[in-house]
Amino acid sequence: NAGVTQTPKFRVLKTGQSMTLLCAQDMNHEYMYWYRQDPGMGLRLIHYSVGEGTTAKGEVPDGYNVSRLKKQNFLLGLESAAPSQTSVYFCASSYDGGANVLTFGAGSRLTVL
């Protein structure tokens, strides 16, 4: 039972390059989330999804796009990477948006030069 799997775990990009982070969960969860974690800033919500085919903006959505074409996958895209997007990205999922706990992936460390 894998839980939440993020790929890749590490990536180095040059400014202006694009990339996609993949999050996959095998728990049949409806809700999925993308967070970024920066020193001294805690975790901040980028985008989230309440079900297949739906997405919504979080606290810091600018510069990112997401898609949820399949229930088990939630993709985070950077169209034109900037140094300010250097961060550790975490995906999480939950059965619903209320009473149940979040399950987190191990994180993806992205460096933009």
Q: Which CB sits closer to another protein, 48 or 74?
A: 48
DSSP string for 31-50: EEEEEEEETTTEEEEEEEES
**Residue from 1, 14, 62, 101 in contact with another protein (CB under 8 A):** 101
Please tell me whether residue 34 binds another protein under the rule CB under 8 A.
no
Residue where the block lists tokens 């990205």: 89
Positions in 39-58 near another protein (CB under 8 A) = 40-45, 48, 58
Q: Which stretch binds another protein (CB under 8 A): 11-19, 65-73, 79-87, 94-102?
A: 94-102
Smallest separation, CB 83 to another protein (Å): 22
- In sequence order, the 6+-apart residues with CB closer than 8 A to the CB of 31 are 48, 49, 50, 51, 93, 94, 95, 96, 97
Cis peptide before 8 (omega within 30 of 0): yes
Which residues of this protein are in contact with another protein, per CB under 8 A?
4, 33, 35, 40-45, 48, 58-59, 90, 92, 97-107
